[in-house]
Amino acid sequence: MMVRSTLVAALLMTAAHVPTPTATAHAGPDWPTCPNAGPVFHAKLSVSGRSGALVQDGGAQVVTIGKGGGITVTDVGGQIGSGVFLSGQNGPDGWPGDTAPWDKGRHGGYAWPMPGSPRFSLVGVFYDRATGVRRTTYTRKATSGTAAVSRGAFYVGYGTPKCVPAPRDRETMVRLMVNDDDSLDNDGAFTAIVRVHRRWR
């Protein structure tokens, strides 16, 4: 009887220290919006650490982003292994402070999807919808000698803080991927909620 009474008292004390959930008020949507455009697609994607993920609908059809449209990526989570020996796993912000170098690739262009952004982070790249060609272009700043992505690629990390405008000269598609020059030794995956916005006419 004494043991039972002691157990009940302990359970009551534990319950008394459990915090009471509180409601959080939201003034509006908690995702960024695109100016002069409205969302036409919304889905949660799994982004493979090896192959990335094209933004597709439930029927595995590639989602086209029209001229003047944009994309937002939110609620990013998950972890990937970079394949670097003894490095462990990392989140979608990659290796902060360790940016991808401007190494040239074997077939021209740059080896890393987004040079200058953290290595092994989550990034997005626009591709021409008709040809499948990557739409990234780069400019080199004469003052500092460093290069910058001028268009066609964007850093995602834990989510885009604002709408990312698509190239305005043609229809595009987007692939989310790990910022890695050789992703075949990666494992794991990121998850993200993607919204595609179409320009209002």
At residue 118, the pLDDT reads: 95
Residues spanned by the domain of 107: 32-199
| Cα dihedral sign, 55-60-63-64 | positive
- CATH number, domain at 42? 2.60.120.430
2 within domain boundaries: no
At residue 18, the pLDDT reads: 30
Q: How many domains does the chain have?
A: 1
149 within domain boundaries: yes
* Cα separation, 138 vs 150, whole angstroms: 5
155 within domain boundaries: yes
62 within domain boundaries: yes
* Cα separation, 73 vs 192, whole angstroms: 6
* DSSP secondary structure string for all residues of 41-106: EEEEEEEETTTBEE-B-TTSPBPPBPTT-EEEEEEEEEEEE---TT--EE-TT-STT-BPP-PBPT
13 within domain boundaries: no
* Cα separation, 91 vs 88, whole angstroms: 11
Question: What are the tokens at 146?
Answer: 């460093």
88 within domain boundaries: yes
* Cα separation, 62 vs 173, whole angstroms: 7
At residue 57, the pLDDT reads: 82
23 within domain boundaries: no
Q: Model-level pTM greater than 0.85?
A: no
pLDDT along the chain (201 residues), means of 10: 41 33 32 79 94 86 89 96 95 95 81 92 94 79 53 91 88 95 96 90 64
36 within domain boundaries: yes
* Cα separation, 191 vs 49, whole angstroms: 10
